[in-house]
Structure 1
Amino acid sequence: MKRMRNVKIVATLGPASSDYAMIRALHEAGADVFRLNMSHGSHDEIAERHKIIRQVEEDCESTIGILADLQGPKLRVGVFANGEEELEEGAEFRLDLDPSEGDATRVNLPHPEIFAALEKGASLLVNDGKIRLKVKKCGKDFADCTVVTGGTISNRKGVNVPDVVLPLAALSDKDRKDLAFVAELGVDWLALSFVQRPEDVNEARALCKGRAAILSKIEKPAAVKAFDAILAASDGIMVARGDLGVELPVQNVPPIQKQLIRKCRAAAKPVIVATQMLESMIDSPMPTRAEVSDVATAIYEGSDAIMLSAESAAGSYPVEAVTTMNNVAIEVEADPTYREVIEASRTAKRNSVADGIVAAAREIAETTDIKAICCFTQSGTTALLVARERPRVPILALTSQEGTARRLALTWGTNCVQTGVLERFKEAVVNAAREARRGGYATAQDQIVVTAGVPFNTAGTTNILRVAPCDERLIYHTDPG
């Protein structure tokens, strides 16, 4: 399915989007990747959604990526005898390991690792930061706090600890079970929640055993500080602005978003901007002007993908939300300023033959009448390098690997086609010309740029570039390969 835009759209599935008709409608409206949120839904429900996505993929003759998002070590308070309590500013409040029901003076926090890491003066945020507590005194099983910002605290509300790196395993027991399940199911991307250090990524990669690409969600200050190392260990990144905006001052999030996107692009790794992008469309068929501007900003910054969460999973207008994102993306990318911004932010990186080949492919496409850059790729690396260049023409990624094609569904400007195994470069050129014509990217009278690696079917060998006519007879008459 040919898109009229380069940025990709990720749509989360849930109660509002769980049957074939709705999932197909979301894909036809613009969703390129579907997110399965492991915080909600049983394994049977997740498996059924996965099955439907693959059926839609087959019926639409599309390549669709599937991202499974692990819950991560979510920290929560216990329960209250009255269900909830009102905390007043300046009041004293204790968190402890006592499992009994809480009241207006204390509540259970069943996480001894938090108490082990806390220090006097540290902040604790409850209920998405609506309540702020400051630690006055703490021990191995308690923390006496002062209420800095009051509000209603109720059963099992989430707790954030922004000031310390918690000695928590990145994967809970639930996460490990979920990881094994979705890796066996055949998802393409695995998203890790609350990553704090590169070791968290390495642990997940070892368990995944190459069955899915690893995407790290950046939602803690510790992850921002260790970002370069986390990026090096990851296959992709999600800027998860929800918890990040809770644990950091909200004014810090926009510059962090911009910095992380730039670094991901320089590393040729896909980056998703997520959380509250069209939040009002959970209940309204129209977004706010500010939300549209937020989506546009992520596109102008060069992100690979933008994501819908509750808007498509539980909202009343899931198709309208995807359609809105699609329309905003088309309009932004048609703006001459978009191209100026994208090209001004391009950073030269010429460390290998492959870097030089893809840079040359982009420059040739921009200085002559080239209709597409066609790259043959086994692992996906060549396509990622071409996408880093943000060329003005479509990228056609051809691969014999089904998993590679699906993972590249998350990458900027990349249209994936699965081919048979090819042995000769001339055979590759014929296939590229055929697919460019079949996909409507070029006519028989047009030219394309073809990149590949020799020897063929070997990852990491991109070393050849050819400008080729799309009339395959002009190519095929000497040697059919």
Structure 2
Amino acid sequence: LTDAVMVARGDLGVEVKMEEVPMAQKMIIEKCNKAGKPVIVATQMMESMITAPRPTRAETSDVANAVLDGADAVMLSAETAVGAYPAEVIRSMVGTILSVETRSPKLFHKWWPVDPASPTFMVDSVLSAACHLAKNTGAKVITGMTHRGYTAFQIAKYRPKANIFIFTDDRSILTVLSLVWGVRCFYYDRFNSTDSTIADLRYVLTTTGHLNKGDVFINTATLPITDKGRANMVKVSVA
């Protein structure tokens, strides 16, 4: 199974008619979102900025639509590799992404149905419930522990408005998870007990400024935590 999918519009335009590429992009992104797979949109996102200090209106709309479609990431290539304005490209793209994310409530709370026939039905139900709890309680943060990344992928697929903080004892997936929508990842290897681990996570998030006193946050975990299995517990906490 693939770890992530790239919608490379240049290659896609060779395989299908050019006018079919936009709908193919939307279809691929939706399927990836439903499956909990990160999806990257690439190729000519801000191509004119190879030689120009500002993007065209069409390019800005293209980036915005990729975000609205549900992309986990948008990718630049020649614009920053050989372009004359790499810093300006990044600023333009970040500004567009932030503008869309702060003005489009439809980006959040994607309630994909949980498949009862799936071998991961139980853990999927737990993580779906965590996202519903976060919405209903106005939680600022959802935390999860993972060893392979599954918890991060599943929480992100529901697009909660709460920040997603994932803790892992595998350094190799720290950078991988940075690609996933809304996820920030920390290295953590002190899985002694559920209570002590949740206390540690609260400490890390409060001391780094991600949680303030009185903020609601949702914890997902395996009980007992030393089993290092998939999540089977949800806890609502207050910082």
Settle same-fold status: TM greater than 0.5: yes
Cα contact 1:429–1:468 (8 A) shared by 2: no
Counterpart residue number, 2:81: 313
| AA matched with 1:340 | K
Please say if 1:420 is aligned against 2:186. no
User: Deviation digits for residues 168-216 of structure 1, max 9, x if unmatched?
Assistant: xxxxxxxxxxxxxxxxxxxxxxxxxxxxxxxxxxxxxxxxxxxxxxxxx
User: Deviation digits for residues 253-292 of structure 1, max 9, x if unmatched?
Assistant: 1111111111111111100000000000111110000000
| AA matched with 1:347 | W
Counterpart residue number, 2:113: 348
Cα contact 1:398–1:417 (8 A) shared by 2: yes
Which 5+ residue runs of structure 1 have no aligned equivalent?
1-232, 471-481
TM-score by length of 2: 0.93
Counterpart residue number, 2:212: 443
Q: 1:458 deviation in Å?
A: 4.9
d(CA) in 1 for partners of 2:217 and 2:87?
Answer: 35
d(CA) in 1 for partners of 2:90 and 2:229?
Answer: 35
User: Deviation digits for residues 104-131 of structure 1, max 9, x if unmatched?
Assistant: xxxxxxxxxxxxxxxxxxxxxxxxxxxx
Counterpart residue number, 1:74: none
SS at match of 1:363: helix
Q: CA 1:458–1:379 in 2, change beyond 3 Å: closer, same or farther?
A: farther
Q: CA 1:248–1:369 in 2, change beyond 3 Å: closer, same or farther?
A: closer
Q: 1:247 aligns with which of 15, 24, 27?
A: 15
Cα contact 2:137–2:216 (8 A) shared by 1: no
| AA matched with 1:379 | R
SS at match of 2:105: helix
Q: 1:339 deviation in Å?
A: 2.0
Please say if 1:407 is aligned against 2:176. yes
User: Deviation digits for residues 393-414 of structure 1, max 9, x if unmatched?
Assistant: 1000111111122110100000
Please say if 1:234 is aligned against 2:11. no
SS at match of 1:451: strand
| AA matched with 2:196 | E
Q: 1:357 deviation in Å?
A: 1.3
Counterpart residue number, 1:339: 105
Alignment of structure 1 residues 97-136 onto 2, 5 Å: none
Q: CA 1:252–1:467 in 2, change beyond 3 Å: closer, same or farther?
A: same
| AA matched with 1:310 | A
Counterpart residue number, 1:258: 26
Counterpart residue number, 1:433: 202
Cα contact 1:381–1:460 (8 A) shared by 2: no
Please say if 1:270 is aligned against 2:38. yes
TM-score by length of 1: 0.47
Alignment of structure 1 residues 164-203 onto 2, 5 Å: none
Counterpart residue number, 2:166: 397
Q: 1:330 aligns with which of 87, 98, 106?
A: 98
User: Deviation digits for residues 370-419 of structure 1, max 9, x if unmatched?
Assistant: 11001111111001100001001100011111112211010000011111
Which 5+ residue runs of structure 2 have no aligned equivalent?
none
d(CA) in 1 for partners of 2:238 and 2:90?
Answer: 36
d(CA) in 2 for partners of 1:257 and 1:298?
Answer: 8
Q: 2:132 aligns with which of 330, 338, 363?
A: 363
Q: 1:359 deviation in Å?
A: 1.2
d(CA) in 2 for partners of 1:371 and 1:295?
Answer: 27
SS at match of 1:375: strand
d(CA) in 2 for partners of 1:458 and 1:283?
Answer: 55
SS at match of 1:440: coil
Counterpart residue number, 2:53: 285
Counterpart residue number, 1:374: 143
d(CA) in 2 for partners of 1:282 and 1:244?
Answer: 22
d(CA) in 1 for partners of 2:224 and 2:133?
Answer: 24
RMSD between aligned residues: 1.5
Cα contact 2:34–2:112 (8 A) shared by 1: yes
Cα contact 1:379–1:459 (8 A) shared by 2: no
Cα contact 1:358–1:389 (8 A) shared by 2: no
Q: 1:342 deviation in Å?
A: 4.4
| AA matched with 1:364 | L
Q: Whose strand proportion is higher, 1 or 2? A: 1
Q: Whose helix proportion is higher, 1 or 2? A: 2
| AA matched with 1:349 | V
Identity %: 37
Cα contact 2:108–2:160 (8 A) shared by 1: no
Cα contact 2:190–2:197 (8 A) shared by 1: no
Q: List 4+ stretches of structure 1 deviating above 4 A.
A: 457-460
